[in-house]
Amino acid sequence: MIMKPSPSQQATLITLAVIVALSPLTVLAPGFRLAVFAHPAARLSALFLGADCVPVDQGYMIAHAALPVWISPACSGISFFVLLAAMGLGLAHRTRKLSAAAVFITALMAYALTILVNTCRITVGFHASVWARAILPSSMWAGVHLSVGVFVFLSALVGAYAIAEWTVIRQAR
């Protein structure tokens, strides 16, 4: 006898399916990642840093006098988008059946939040790099860069989950 999965199990399966379906975007199509994800975040960061955002061979450069910042396809934040969209669609399924409109709105919100969070990561990363170069040996600079990215993206993902879960619980009552 085959049992139908519970709504919670269905939500988990939807989350997994979205991650599997969108994962190739994280390593393929560097031009797409640059144009759609990295470029808007780089432009916003440049605006906040009071610098120009200049196209270069492998992406973009924020031409700041204190420290130029290179934005490559790896800096696009698309992995965060995949996780956020998958989480959002899984949570949305828990409260109602997914419609095309719900999928579109969830993807749009995940995209906007990805650009915002990636802008924060680039901007905070700039300030952390300036600080690290002033007081830490060069062997630690890459670790500071990585730590900022992990901290910003993980905090945003946990925060988005907490807010979404709280909203889902409130709607269920």
- Give the model's pLDDT for residue 169: 65
pTM (2 d.p.): 0.90
Statement: residue 172 has pLDDT above 70: no
CA distance 79 to 18: 12
- Give the model's pLDDT for residue 83: 96
Is residue 125 within 8 Å of 145, Cβ to Cβ?
yes
Quick: pLDDT tens for 29-81.
899 999 999 999 999 999 999 999 999 988 999 999 999 999 999 999 999 99
DSSP notation for 126-166: HHHHHHHHHHS-GGGHHHHHHHHHHHHHHHHHHHHHHHHHH
Give the residue-averaged pLDDT of 101-117: 95
| Weakest mean pLDDT among 38-52, 86-100, 101-115 | 86-100
DSSP structural state of residue 71? E
- Give the model's pLDDT for residue 164: 86
